[in-house]
């Protein structure tokens, strides 16, 4: 059991992770770099404001003073610049993949390559570099002629906003060149995929390089507006469990997705240690992999972690050392309850968000029994918090069922106000199967 943990990051995902770890027996302190003012108000949490999570040297120094027994890297951006490598080189136990292994998220083309080598089912796709506009257009027409829908994906990190699910072939043909203009001629810039039909779900596993242990499954809502309308975002809400993804289905995902990918990464000499996020489409022919991420999802973490029934710290430390405990089951034990997370976003998101609006109603929301995880907030000089980013808060309701959890979350979200607040009102609504099912 680690007694002191450093969490890298400062968003809602990191708030949820720090909250979970700080509440576990044997943990004396969780330090969050840079963290947020709201995190600093919680027991056993300390923040390092001003720390640049992309500065590997600063993160190594933060881990050394005082000594952290485990570092958990929250966001993808520090992993993409090698922060985990720097920590490992300094002899510090780090849970988070190396720069090389992080390519599973930083390059969608690489993810397709690894999945194909591992025999993991994904959509039909091709990657195109900056000088291949004509080839991309030809492939789009080929998919359309075969009766397939078209998805355009930027080949790189885009904060969850680099995917366009096109509605018509004309839209795909119009937008594809914008991904390619001005990009390197010898590097993938655009991945064109067939559009898969079904329901999305996320299965995230704790991985030690060879073994994967699944957290509770979740489903997130990417579109800005109710009814899955509007632009893609980093996520406007999530819920767990997923009614149409039971324990047997999650075990099947581990067997057909996570384990083959881990084996292929090890074969390539880049073993994967960290959270391996499988974004899935549950199709009529079974699950298909949409994407890999190399960290917890946001807002999925905010609804997954409150349902984990055992201490997370020992698992992460063991995985960081390359040996998950033999006795731990393949599915992390869960609390038989539900969680529904509703993201509250600032005006202008997912474009340029408005900042500085005072937030009202937080005390009333907390009094309703909800959890509130802060992301884009800042302490105001006179007390309270103001908006300071796109996705500002995640309000999480918990209950015996998804319906009960949703009621708690909606009531708490209704209590919070600021000028220009954006949110959805249909998270976990109109579920296709009984809300008491699923993992």
pLDDT for position 348: 97
Residue 129 contacts by C-beta under 8 Å, 6 or more apart in sequence?
Answer: 180, 183, 184, 185, 186, 187, 188, 189
Domain 199-415: CATH architecture, name and number where available: 2-Layer Sandwich (3.30)
**What secondary structure does DSSP assign to 93-113, as a single string?**
-EES--TTTTHHHH-HHHHHH
pLDDT for position 351: 94
Q: How confident is the model at residue 437 (pLDDT cuts 50, 70, 90)?
A: low
Is the peptide bond prior to 66 cis by the omega test (within 30 degrees of 0)? yes
Distance separating alpha carbons of residues 183 and 132, to the nearest angstrom: 10
Distance separating alpha carbons of residues 271 and 356, to the nearest angstrom: 43
C-alpha closest to that of 110 among 127, 132, 135: 127
Distance separating alpha carbons of residues 107 and 111, to the nearest angstrom: 6
Dihedral sign for Cα atoms in the order 414, 422, 14, 269: positive
CATH number for the domain formed by residue range(s) 4-99: 3.40.50.20
**Tokens for 22?**
């700080």
Please count the other Cβ atoms lying within 10 Å of the Cβ belonging to residue 170.
10
273-283 vs 223-225, strand pairing mode: unpaired
Average pLDDT rounded to a whole number, residues 426-431:
89
pLDDT for position 241: 98
C-alpha closest to that of 53 among 71, 30, 26: 71
Average pLDDT rounded to a whole number, residues 250-255:
98
**Tokens for 200?**
């999305």
For residues 116 and 165, the model is more confident at 116
Bridge partners (DSSP) listed for residue 232: 223
Q: What does R_g of the chain's alpha carbons equal in angstroms?
A: 21
Distance separating alpha carbons of residues 78 and 86, to the nearest angstrom: 11
Q: How far is CA 159 from the centre of its chain?
A: 10
Residue 16 contacts by C-beta under 8 Å, 6 or more apart in sequence?
Answer: 301, 302, 305, 306, 373, 394
180, 291 contact by CB (below 8 A): no
Q: Cα separations (Å) of 262 from 104, 115, 165, 256?
A: 11, 10, 29, 11
Is the peptide bond prior to 127 cis by the omega test (within 30 degrees of 0)? no
Please give the mean pLDDT across all residues of the chain: 94
Is the peptide bond prior to 241 cis by the omega test (within 30 degrees of 0)? yes
Where do the H-state alpha helices sit in 228-376?
Answer: 247-253, 259-267, 300-304, 313-320, 362-367
pLDDT for position 130: 82
Average pLDDT rounded to a whole number, residues 229-241:
95
Q: How confident is the model at residue 186 (pLDDT cuts 50, 70, 90)?
A: low
Average pLDDT rounded to a whole number, residues 294-307:
98
Q: How far is CA 46 from the centre of its chain?
A: 23
Residue 310 contacts by C-beta under 8 Å, 6 or more apart in sequence?
Answer: 332, 333
The per-residue pLDDT for range 90-142, each reduced to its tens digit, is 999 999 999 999 999 999 999 999 999 999 999 999 999 888 889 999 999 99
**Tokens for 11?**
């968003």
pLDDT for position 66: 81
Average pLDDT rounded to a whole number, residues 36-46:
96
Asked if residue 435 has pLDDT above 80, the reply is no
Distance separating alpha carbons of residues 394 and 135, to the nearest angstrom: 42
For residue 72, which phi and psi values (nearest 5 degrees)? -115, 120
Domain 125-195: CATH architecture, name and number where available: 2-Layer Sandwich (3.30)
Asked if residue 60 has pLDDT above 50, the reply is yes
SS3 of 203-254: the string is EEEEEECCCEEECCCEEECCEEECCCEEEECCCCEEEECCCCCCHHHHHHHH
Please count the other Cβ atoms lying within 10 Å of the Cβ belonging to residue 295.
26
Residue 3 gets the label, from left (phi > 0), alpha (psi -120 to 50) or beta, of alpha
Domain ranges within the chain, ordered by starting residue: 4-99, 125-195, 199-415
Query: Would the pTM count as exceeding 0.85?
Result: yes
The per-residue pLDDT for range 382-391, each reduced to its tens digit, is 899 999 989 9
């Amino acid at each position: 059991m680690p007694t002191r943990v450093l969490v890298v990051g400062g968003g809602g995902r990191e708030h949820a992770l720090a909250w979970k770890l700080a509440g576990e027996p044997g943990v004396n302190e969780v330090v969050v770099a840079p963290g947020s003012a709201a995190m600093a108000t919680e027991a056993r949490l300390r923040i390092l404001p001003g720390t640049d999570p992309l500065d590997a040297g600063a993160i190594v120094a933060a881990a050394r003073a005082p000594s952290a027994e485990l570092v958990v890297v929250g966001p993808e951006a520090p992993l993409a610049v090698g922060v985990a490598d720097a920590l490992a080189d300094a002899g510090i136990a780090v849970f988070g993949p190396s720069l090389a292994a992080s390519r599973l998220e930083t390059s969608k083309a690489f993810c397709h390559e690894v999945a194909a080598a591992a025999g993991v089912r994904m959509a039909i796709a091709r990657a195109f570099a900056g000088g291949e506009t004509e080839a991309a257009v030809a492939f789009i027409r080929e998919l359309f002629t075969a009766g397939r829908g078209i998805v355009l994906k930027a080949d790189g990190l885009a904060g969850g906003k680099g995917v366009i699910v096109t509605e018509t072939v004309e839209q795909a043909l119009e937008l594809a060149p914008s991904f390619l203009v001005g990009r390197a001629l010898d590097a993938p810039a655009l991945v064109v995929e067939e559009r898969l039909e079904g329901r999305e779900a996320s299965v995230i596993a704790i991985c030690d390089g060879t073994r994967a242990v699944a957290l509770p499954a979740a489903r997130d809502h990417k579109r800005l507006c109710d009814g899955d309308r509007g632009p893609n975002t980093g996520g406007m809400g999530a819920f767990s469990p997923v009614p149409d993804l039971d324990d047997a289905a999650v075990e099947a995902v581990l067997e057909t997705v996570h384990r083959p990918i881990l084996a292929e990464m090890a074969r390539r000499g880049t073993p994967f240690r960290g959270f391996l996020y499988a974004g899935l489409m549950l199709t009529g022919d079974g699950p298909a992999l949409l994407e890999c991420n190399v960290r917890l999802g946001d807002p999925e973490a905010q609804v997954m972690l409150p349902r984990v029934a055992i201490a997370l710290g020992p698992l992460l430390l063991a995985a960081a050392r390359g040996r998950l405990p033999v006795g731990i089951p393949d599915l992390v034990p869960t609390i038989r309850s539900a969680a529904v997370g509703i993201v509250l976003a600032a005006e202008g998101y997912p474009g340029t968000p408005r900042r500085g609006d005072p937030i009202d109603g937080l005390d009333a929301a907390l009094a309703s029994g909800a959890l509130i995880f802060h992301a884009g907030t800042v302490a105001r000089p006179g007390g309270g918090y103001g908006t300071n980013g796109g996705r500002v808060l995640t309000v999480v309701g918990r209950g015996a069922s998804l319906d009960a959890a949703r009621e708690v979350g909606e009531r708490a979200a209704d209590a919070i106000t600021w000028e220009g607040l954006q949110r959805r009102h249909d998270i976990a609504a109109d579920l296709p199967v009984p809300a008491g099912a699923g993992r």
